[in-house]
Amino acid sequence: MTMPWLRGLGLVVAVVVAATVSANPAQAEPGVTPGMKVEAINSACTAGFAAQGNDGSYYLMTSGHCDPHNGSVWSYGNHVQLGRITVSEHDGDARDAAIIMLDPRLGPPRGDIGGRYFVRDVLSATQIQRGMPFCKIGAVTGETCGAVKDVQGDVVEASVFSLNGDSGSPGYVKNPDGTVSAVGLLTSSPDGDDYTTYFSLVNPLLSKWGLRILP
């Protein structure tokens, strides 16, 4: 069994070393959208789907192994603060997700992936079939596409290219009307194989964490 490469910033461990970013006031800056780079000191991942909680707060999803578990403030762009991870889970590829609660001063994030694709719905494991075309947008490699290779439990294996720093990327299926169906968050790849990538399903997280994905 080969060890998977977690798609954080050049790291293959479950915990990413991070520290609090320098304090900067929230300010308007374009690009708070799924697929952008999010970072803390010494760590960087990709923002997954944007969501709103039952409490009215807004969130960005990412991979659980990106969570340093030290209350670090995450930022984007020119060190604009996003907020802190409030909930995360990580157990191999099966459970690998986290949510960053956004500073209310930022306002609602954009739900469209990479500023291109509106999210129509969210697919469950039973709706995902082998051979189905599949894509992701990552902060490092951008949009890459392939096909679903397998679905095991809450993990989708796809023939999609990714590199370190793409952890958390939104994985989706394109629809004929130009929208996409949300599937999962990029977690890792087999050691030595950048063209096979695993995604942890987001559907089970919505009711569990009280979220709805923004269109």
- Spell out the SS3 assignment of the chain: CCCEEECCCCCCCCCCCCECCCCCCCCCCCCCCCCCEEEEECEEEECCCEEEECCCCEEEEECHHHCCCCCCEEEECCCEEEEEEEEEEEECECEEEEEEEECHHHCCCCCCECCCECEEEECCHHHCCCCCEEEEEECCCEEEEEEEEEEECCEEEECCCCCCCCCCCEEEEECCCCCEEEEEEEEEEECCCCCCEEEEECHHHHHHHCEEECC
pLDDT in tens, 78-89: 999 999 999 999
Give residue 94's pLDDT: 83
Whether residue 105 is found in the same domain as residue 134: no
Give residue 9's pLDDT: 61
User: Is residue 7 within 8 Å of 166, Cβ to Cβ?
Assistant: yes
Whether residue 48 is found in the same domain as residue 129: no
pLDDT in tens, 154-176: 999 999 999 999 999 999 999 99
Going by C-alpha positions, the residue among 154, 180, 145, 21 that lies closest to residue 94 is: 154
pLDDT in tens, 126-154: 999 999 999 999 999 999 999 999 999 99
Whether residue 106 is found in the same domain as residue 8: yes
What's the CA gap between 120 and 9, in Å, rounded?
30
Whether residue 78 is found in the same domain as residue 21: yes
Whether residue 102 is found in the same domain as residue 25: yes
Whether residue 106 is found in the same domain as residue 12: yes
Whether residue 86 is found in the same domain as residue 144: no
Whether residue 168 is found in the same domain as residue 192: yes
pLDDT in tens, 1-20: 344 768 676 443 333 322 22
What's the CA gap between 13 and 106, in Å, rounded?
31
Whether residue 32 is found in the same domain as residue 87: yes
Whether residue 108 is found in the same domain as residue 8: yes
Could you tell me how many residues make up the chain?
215
Q: Work out how many domains the chain is built from and give that number.
A: 2
pLDDT in tens, 107-128: 999 999 999 999 999 999 999 9
CA dihedral 112, 118, 124, 129 (to 10 degrees): -110
Q: What is the pTM of this model?
A: 0.87
Arithmetic mean of pLDDT over the chain: 88
Give residue 190's pLDDT: 94
Per-residue confidence at 29, pLDDT binned at 50, 70, 90? low
Whether residue 93 is found in the same domain as residue 127: no
Instruction: Kindly state the percentage of the chain with pLDDT values over 90.
Output: 79
Whether residue 18 is found in the same domain as residue 73: yes
Per-residue confidence at 30, pLDDT binned at 50, 70, 90? low
Tokens of 111: 């739900």
| Domain around 92 | 4-112+206-213
> What's the CATH code of the domain at 186?
2.40.10.10
- The yes-or-no verdict on residue 54 having pLDDT over 50 is yes
The more confidently predicted of residues 38 and 43 is 38
